[in-house]
Amino acid sequence: MNVRLRNRVLILGGGFGALYTALELERLLGWEPYVEITLINRENFFLFTPMLHEVAASDLDITHIVNPIRKLLRKAKFFHGEVQAIDLQEQQVRVVHGPERHLHQIGYDHLVIALGSTSNFYGIPGLKEKAFTMKSLGDAIHLRNRLIDLLEEADFECAMGTRKDLLTVVVAGGGFAGVETIAAIRDFLHDATRFYPHLERGLIRLILAHAGPVILPELGESLGHYAQKKLARRDVDIRVNTRIAALTESGVQFADGNSIECKTLVWTAGVSANPLLESLTCPKNRGRLVVNEFLEVEGCDGVWALGDCASILNKKTGQPYPPTAQHAIREGRTVARNVLAAIRGGDKKAFAFSTIGQLASIGRRTGVANILGLNFSGFVAWFLWRTIYLSKLPRFEKKVRVALDWTLDLLFAKDLVHFMILRSPVVSSDGAEQARKEGKKQAARAIGA
């Protein structure tokens, strides 16, 4: 029997957990031929999500926080496709691939599920159809285009009666994503108004709606209150203990009965596990696959899960580990070592990790951070945010590009280019010839008249 085919490792996903599983397997295995590693993802790049809000705010070029997966992997194979179904009985994954989305059946001996999460709108009316999200590079570009659209429309005289509605933005969710997004939006809109002669900063209205009593609950009340005060001084209307009830044509309705007329709602208030997991018969906790201390899916031999897809119990706290990047990176490395142990017959390693620190940028070169139990705020926290995340960004080339973007941002205004993914208009030769003849006829008639 072919030894190599008995050790096919298939990794589903392209986020922190999936990528670092593949990288660790490469490091451990070197160039040994008996293990075949394949990573499948619907995008051919790895997105550095902590900097996503900076793309939406035009602080960074859209390509500088993404890395082509093929440039990151050396031994592992990459398959650019979208996972459609997982067959645990047959040990196969169904994937569609290419512009025509033709089907592939890919077998495995060890399966690593790291498909991430999706936005959860909790059935709130209007959100699925109209709300913006901040989960992908496309989301950030879409939101940036939306903000520029609003500025362009509001600057014209036809918008005199609706300018405040156009320049009102609501962000739902006071966690890291929501706070960093609204801070970035605030800086972008305020800096941009000087290029629009009919607009002024007083027309901009920003609302952050958070269901809890204080924003950034992960950092504790002290830093949460600090962030609230800083944002409030920058004219961000922070509404705690507030939930979204509906998004209508006219604006946002809150659960307390109040409403706001606006055209833009950014939803960062909830996620759920990837819908593909619903079809799996493995034990789940709130849609996530339940795994043991070795990150093996309960009751499914040869199947591993991590990141947003997995419910991993922290024995110290009795609660699942949070789905953050720093956890996903360590989970990926642990899965890689345990997959190798399963192949070679060695001892597996239990996953255990304590959060090192958490940081958030709140705009205007200020931030909040908790590192090893110590609180930081203001410029120091912002500097730590940039320094730490820049060091974590893969590949030296991208580090240099991001550092240059940040440097140029100190010297020049934010870019206001609206990215339209449209083909240029064309005409067929027959149509052009017909138009030319028609033009000649009209010219002849005009001369005759």
Query: Is residue 282 located within the same domain as residue 219?
Result: no
* Rounded-to-integer distance, Cα 87 and Cα 23, Å: 25
How many separate domains does the chain show? 2
Query: Is residue 89 located within the same domain as residue 148?
Result: no
Residue 114 belongs to a domain with what CATH number? 3.50.50.60
Query: Is residue 189 located within the same domain as residue 244?
Result: yes
* Rounded-to-integer distance, Cα 196 and Cα 152, Å: 8
Residue 227 belongs to a domain with what CATH number? 3.50.50.100
Query: Is residue 99 located within the same domain as residue 28?
Result: yes
- 296 forms beta bridges with 304
Query: Is residue 132 located within the same domain as residue 99?
Result: no
Edge-first strand order for the sheet with 310-311 is 284-285, 288-290, 310-311
Query: Is residue 168 located within the same domain as residue 221?
Result: yes
Does the pLDDT of residue 76 top 60, yes or no?
yes
pTM of the model: 0.90
Within a domain: 426? no
Q: How confident is the model at residue 29 (pLDDT cuts 50, 70, 90)?
A: confident
Does the pLDDT of residue 233 top 90, yes or no?
yes
Looking at 344, 366, 383, which one is the last position of a domain?
Answer: 344
Does the pLDDT of residue 389 top 60, yes or no?
yes
Say if residues 262 and 69 touch (Cβ distance below 8 Å).
Answer: no
Query: Is residue 326 located within the same domain as residue 197?
Result: no
Query: Is residue 331 located within the same domain as residue 363?
Result: no
Residue 4 pLDDT: 45
Residue 5 pLDDT: 47
Does the pLDDT of residue 446 top 60, yes or no?
no
Provide DSSP, 389-419.
HHHHSSSHHHHHHHHHHHHHHHHSPPP----
Provide DSSP, 377-390.
EEHHHHHHHHHHHH
pLDDT in tens, 266-291: 999 989 999 999 999 999 999 999 99
Within a domain: 349? no
Mean pLDDT of the chain: 92
Kindly report which listed range (158-162, 169-173, 351-355, 403-407) carries the lowest average pLDDT score.
158-162
pLDDT in tens, 170-222: 999 999 999 999 999 999 999 999 999 999 999 999 999 999 999 999 999 99
pLDDT in tens, 5-25: 468 999 999 999 999 999 999
Residue 440 pLDDT: 64
